[in-house]
Every structure is written in structure tokens, then in C-alpha cells.
Amino acid sequence: MSNKIKMIVGLGNPGSEYEQTRHNAGFWFIDELAWQYKATLKEEKKFFGSVARISISGSDLWFLKPSTFMNRSGQAVAALAQFYKIKPEEILVVHDELDIPCGRIKFKLGGGNGGHNGLKDIQARLGTPDFYRLRLGIDHPGDRNLVVGYVLNKPSPEHRQQIDEAINKSLKAVPMLLAGEWEEAVRFLHSK
């Protein structure tokens, strides 16, 4: 793991009806990240999403919120990555994760997509699963037939608070991730 992260993507669905749903945890993260770095996200049609660029230690860092629906997230990721010649292993994708308890966080490079349509499309468009993932736990409804309704609904106030706390904790790890301090970041993010 020696690559520098050059793009951070938050996954979600566009539109006010999805704004507060669990599936938009990645959008919530990017909004907070942009606020923290005083970056303004602007809609960019050629990148199929809202984009911001900041400079950290002389290197460009891109923030992206795809404006496609979740299952077409790869269209935005691939467009920005190809235009700025960003390699898959220089991309961090932040997304909601059913298989992690609410409020918990996992960070990893590569792996499967766990049935997550956003990740599936990004893997297909990039031609590899080898990008970083910051997985924000949202819990599982207990029955796979309930998953779609679950991710497309608002979390309870208690769960929303746990997700917000996980986002705040994740934001504290961003400087470590950008510096390539992977072990320290993993230790911090995976701790309770």
C-alpha cells in the first residue's frame, strides 16, 4: 500500500427524496469533508457529478459525489479518473455497508463488492476491484428481501447519530490516509 490517494468518492443517490437515506452515507461523508477543507462542490456534467479540487502538500486531491444513481456510480468515477489519469489504487470510495454494525468503520484495499451496486459498477468501469474502500456500517435488516427498503429509508435517530459519529471519526483519519499511514489509519478506524 504505497499509493497516494488522489480522489475521494462518496456514494449515494441524487435527489431530495434520497438525501436522508442510509444509502447516502457516502454523500454525508463528502459533504463534511468538503466543509472541513473549505472546498466547494460544483456540478460538472462531464464528470457526471459534483466535484471539488483542493491542494494538499502540492498535490491535487479530488472530491466526487456522483450525480448518477448508485448503480451507475462507476460512470462518474471512471470519467474523473481517466481525465486526470488517476489510477484505481489512488481512489478511496466511501460507502454504506450492510455487513458492519451501525456506527462501526472498516477500511481496506480491494475485495468483493458484497452486492453493493455502487461498488459493482465502479469495479466494472475501472476493470479492477483494487481501489480503497472506507465502509461505514449501517447494520443489516436481517432479511435480504428487506435490504432495498432498508437502505432507501432514513435511519432511526439513534442510528443516524451512530453513523454521524463514524463519519466524524473517519474524517479524523483522513490526514493519515492522505499521508499513506495505512497501519495507523486502520488501527484508529477499526478501534471502538
23 is catalytic: yes
Is 18 labeled as ligand-binding?
Answer: yes
Cβ atoms within 10 A of the Cβ of 45, count?
A: 8
Q: Would you say 150 is a known binding-site residue? A: no
Cell of 155: 435511519
Question: CB–CB of 104/167 below 8 Å?
Answer: no
Annotated binding residue at 117? yes
Which three three-digit cell numbers place residue 10?
462518496
Instruction: Kindly state the cell numbers that stand for 92.
Output: 478511496
Report helix angle 73-83 to 117-126, nearest 10. Answer: 40
- Identified catalytic residue from 23, 95, 116, 190: 23
Report the binding-site residues. 18, 69, 71, 117
Report the binding-site residues for tRNA. 18, 69, 71, 117
Q: Which residues are the active-site residues?
A: 23
